[in-house]
Structure 1
Amino acid sequence: MEAIHTVMKDGRKLCLRRLTSEDAPLIEAGIKDLSDRSRYLRFFSGFKQAPPSVLQRLTNFDTDDHLAWGAVDASLPSYPPIAAAHIIRTDPAPETTGDFALAVLDDYQGLGVARAMMSCLFHDALTSGYETVHLDVLFENKSARSLFTTMGAVPSSSNGGVIHMELDLRTALGRLEMSKRAPVAEMFKDVQHALSG
């Protein structure tokens, strides 16, 4: 699948593409580059370095049971990785659903990167037979809760400060398409044009 090029809220260039097994080192480096706070909000853990079990789960890519997209800052010559998003099928869940997770480096949060990632990943997932995703969010993570609720996610249960949510992919893409906020609307058009072309 071709790389997708668009721009972030501040005008910097953003490049998104599906991840492959060769990107495993970038996933590990990206986890280390998260701040302690962002790493805790993403993994619900205070680890400094991801345990082997976490890395295995996040880097075991294939086109059927683990879809993953990454983003880099294309404004910089080194093209540093800045975000990753995953949908992973889990047994005994139906084949049409999977677990969803997303992380954006601290310096790139609030620039529309998360929405661009979801546009790519959710479109890709629909064409791969997914219909819904489950996600876990810490109650204290207000920005993530707000983002996913805006996309149409609904709480299904909660446990020890963790909110379990379910999100219909078509609903999420519909919400992104209807967005009038710049640059979200422009980013969505760029992504969908590239994916549909």
Structure 2
Amino acid sequence: MKDGRSLCLRPLQSRDAPLLEAGIIALSDRSRYFRFFSGFKQAPPSVLKRLTDFDGDDHLAWGAVDSSLDTNPPIAAAHIFRVDNLPPTSGDFAIAILDDYHHQGIARSLIACLFSDAISKQFEHVELDVLSENRVGIALFRSLGAQIISASSGVTHIKIDLNHAVTVLKTSDKPPLNRVFLQFS
């Protein structure tokens, strides 16, 4: 991480379901609202089922833990889902990072892993909805070359070309990203 703490990024597995649930609860109300567009404190069972039903093909999921602490607490997760209303080469994308870990370079590192994995599974694009008030999130996605498809009712619909985003990340001058991409060579 930017502050020197160690970070471990890895694909999520079904045994990680309790960690995802705990992570959702640990998000601040604002971050949970930005991620889920909802004020719930604890994710409903239908949301948990969707988030924990990853198969490594139609639902890719990566997570991050703070490996500088003995407890290796989960601090972030990102997902890509194939969905019926999108072409098979496109997916729905989502990411969340615990508030205490914002601005540490975790989002870019996690996105680099997930997008690289997705490209190997024949994904070409991802789409996502972002609350228009989430200016930091929109700025991050724009920095990866995202296209704004639409904006209405306080929600911005975004499309990201994965190959372009990975190229942007690979040419970044941020050292942690160099280490991430060495794992995908």
Equivalent of 1:28 in 11, 21, 24: 21
> What is the Cα deviation at residue 160 of structure 1?
1.1
**Aligned residue-pair number:** 185
Counterparts of 1:1-197 in structure 2 under 5 Å? 8-180=1-173, 185-196=174-185
Once superposed, which parts of structure 1, at least 4 consecutive aligned residues long, lie more than 3 Å away?
none
> What is the Cα deviation at residue 195 of structure 1?
2.0
Aligned equivalents of 2:17, 2:122: Cα separation in 1: 25
Aligned equivalents of 2:57, 2:127: Cα separation in 1: 17
**Structure 2: where are the runs of 5+ without partners?**
none
Matched-pair contact (CA < 8 Å) for 2:23–2:76:
yes
Aligned equivalents of 1:14, 1:88: Cα separation in 2: 24
**Structure 1: where are the runs of 5+ without partners?**
1-7
> What is the Cα deviation at residue 92 of structure 1?
3.1
> What is the Cα deviation at residue 97 of structure 1?
0.4
> What is the Cα deviation at residue 49 of structure 1?
0.5
Measured against aligned partners, the alpha-carbon deviations of 1:27-49 in whole angstroms (never above 9, x if no partner) come to 00000000001100111110001
Give the TM-score normalised by the residue count of structure 1: 0.92
Provide the secondary structure at the position in 2 that maps to 1:125.
helix
**What's the RMSD between the two structures over aligned residues?**
0.7
Give the TM-score normalised by the residue count of structure 2: 0.98
The alignment-based identity, stated in percent, is 59
Provide the secondary structure at the position in 2 that maps to 1:130.
coil
Matched-pair contact (CA < 8 Å) for 2:3–2:104:
yes
